[in-house]
Chains A and B, each alone.
Chain A
Amino acid sequence: MASYQVRTFIGIFFVDENKKIISFKPFPKDPKEVAPLLNEKSEAPAEIEKFVKENLLKYAIEYKFVKNQIEFNQFLTKVNSELTKQKIKESASRDNLIIHVNNAVEELDRSINIFVERLREWYSLHFPEMDRVIENHEMYVELIGKFGDRENFNDNRLNQFKEKSSGMEFNKEDIETVKLFSSDISKLYELRKEFTNYLSKLLKEIAPNFSVLAGDVIAAKLIAKAGGLERLSRMPSSTIQLLGSEKALFRFLKSRGRSKSPKYGLIYNHPLIQNSPSDKQGKIARLLASKLSIAARIDYYSKEYRGDQMKKELEAKVKGILSLKK
């Protein structure tokens, strides 16, 4: 007589072809132990498996695995949340790190900008001439941290202004406080550097081909925008071309052709597009996006490194486009 094994949440049933239960081997009652046991499949015809599953509650009570439906439901819930936890663990991949680091860098940029603006306004009470002379934010912050009081400044660009400055006097506490602020902003700049170094390491590890073609900054932004390398690798190149220009794209779609369609999204900042005349930019964007989509697929599926070769091909093609006449 043939007997089939049916694997369920509560244990293994041995069933004959007339759907009669021959025996039952219960699983332990700890959901954590049950979850890994469910990875194996049953070896029974679908019909028999379905029959057992539909009557599982009845059997569970009959074989005294649970007392009632409430207990049964609770057990089922717990086993399935264990299974789901297991699945989440397996599905999480390292490209999620790129998304978070990239977004953190963008948020840092925004914060640093706000703080530097405040610092400039604040310190200009004391030394207004410096605001114009030192245009670089990071330098401005660093100089305040280094010298503090206007009197102490020793910098070729500023020495001529410090004597006849129109700024008000700051006492010791005023200076210390503003220095404290500037040193914290400097720390944010350092943090940003750490993050970008880490980001390029991650990109080299996870998306070597893609990041060589796109450049680190754009590569990270595209992966973050797409929601991961897997999703990016499934996108058609026309979507990659327009990632980041959703507002313009939907404006175009809604207006049904009355406004212009965007030609590029985030990839607009790529040097190959930036350094080309505007009448060729659209064409180059299309080419670049198609190469990027190929690179993303190589990175996600085969992981073979072909970046340098692809970059050469891309540059040769761009040259070809640039030499075309209108």
Chain B
Amino acid sequence: MPEVKKTKFYGVFKIKGKISTINLVPNQKVYGEELIKEKSVEYRVWDFWRSKPAAAIKNGLKGLPIEDGIKVLYLGIANGTTASHFSDIIGKNGLIYGVEISDRPFRELIPTAEKRGNVIPILANARKPEDYENVVLSKVDVVYEDVASDDQVQIMIRNCEKFLKPDGFAIIVIKSQSIDVTKHPRQVYKECLQELEKYFEIIDKVELDPYEKFHLFVVMRWKG
């Protein structure tokens, strides 16, 4: 019998030594992950090679502000791999607004979203928050950003100004190779954090090596 252990992260469990979340839609896989059934509860294994928050947890993240019933604005949702685990954690009363610029990933995202009922797919450019402000009904608790763009810090700030609650959290995955390949990643992180510190209180930061090379996972609180 595998033992299910709670972790310090809300809605995240350890089972057979792997971290996982409770499947919101039983019997449905999202990206070919392992499903483990234990005492009539189904857990979806959170693959840290494929999802950055999982890699961050593996690398010693202290806390993740994703909780039951919250609203999340997710910039760069792509196929919905990471979003599906957020969707598990926030449950049916929570809501994820998933913004993605490319139309290709929607082939996988739309079926996932329709099954889950708490992920809203939005085809839009995260640089232009005006384009989707009529879809986002009210301010959100968390803004999560994982986009490959050299102005990703600016995109984050602009979206937080528009959509984040005054005491809300922001999570950004800084991609040093997208920002400047010629500089050392640590140098890029330093510059980004300096810029972010003007708007946010930085709570925690974790490098994602070896799961994602040259990525920094940062959890912050909005100074509003």
Q: Could you tell me the dominant secondary structure of chain A's interface residues?
A: helix
Interface readout for B118-141 with A: 1 if CB under 8 Å, 0 if not? 111111000000000011011000
Among B94, B103, B135, B138, contact of A80 (Cβ-Cβ < 8 Å): B135
For window 254-273 of chain A, which residues contact chain B by CB distance below 8 Å?
254, 256
How many contacts between A and B, using CB within 8 angstroms?
63
* Complex Cα–Cα for A250 and B181 (A): 8
B169 an interface residue at 8 Å Cβ cutoff? no
Among A53, A74, A87, A92, contact of B117 (Cβ-Cβ < 8 Å): A74
For window 86-106 of chain A, which residues contact chain B by CB distance below 8 Å?
87-88, 91-92
Residue of A nearest to B124 (CB): A87
Q: Do the beta carbons of A80 and B93 come within 8 Å of each other?
A: no
A76 an interface residue at 8 Å Cβ cutoff? yes
B108 an interface residue at 8 Å Cβ cutoff? no
Q: Do the beta carbons of A81 and B137 come within 8 Å of each other?
A: no
Q: Do the beta carbons of B118 and A77 come within 8 Å of each other?
A: yes
B217 an interface residue at 8 Å Cβ cutoff? no
Closest CB of chain B to A70's CB: distance in Å? 4
Residue of A nearest to B120 (CB): A80
Q: Do the beta carbons of B95 and A76 come within 8 Å of each other?
A: yes
B48 an interface residue at 8 Å Cβ cutoff? no
| B-chain residues with CB within 8 Å of residue A88 when the two chains form the complex | 103, 106, 123
Q: Do the beta carbons of A54 and B117 come within 8 Å of each other?
A: no
Q: Do the beta carbons of B137 and A54 come within 8 Å of each other?
A: yes
Known contacts A77-B113, A77-B116, A84-B106; 7 further A-B pairs (Cβ under 8 A): A70-B93, A70-B117, A77-B114, A81-B114, A87-B103, A253-B181, A254-B181
Interface readout for B158-184 with A: 1 if CB under 8 Å, 0 if not? 000000000000000000000001100
A73-B117, A73-B118, A77-B113 given as contacts; is B138 within 8 A of A253 (CB)? no
B92 an interface residue at 8 Å Cβ cutoff? yes
* Complex Cα–Cα for A76 and B98 (A): 13
For window 200-228 of chain A, which residues contact chain B by CB distance below 8 Å?
none
* Complex Cα–Cα for A56 and B138 (A): 9
Closest CB of chain B to A48's CB: distance in Å? 14
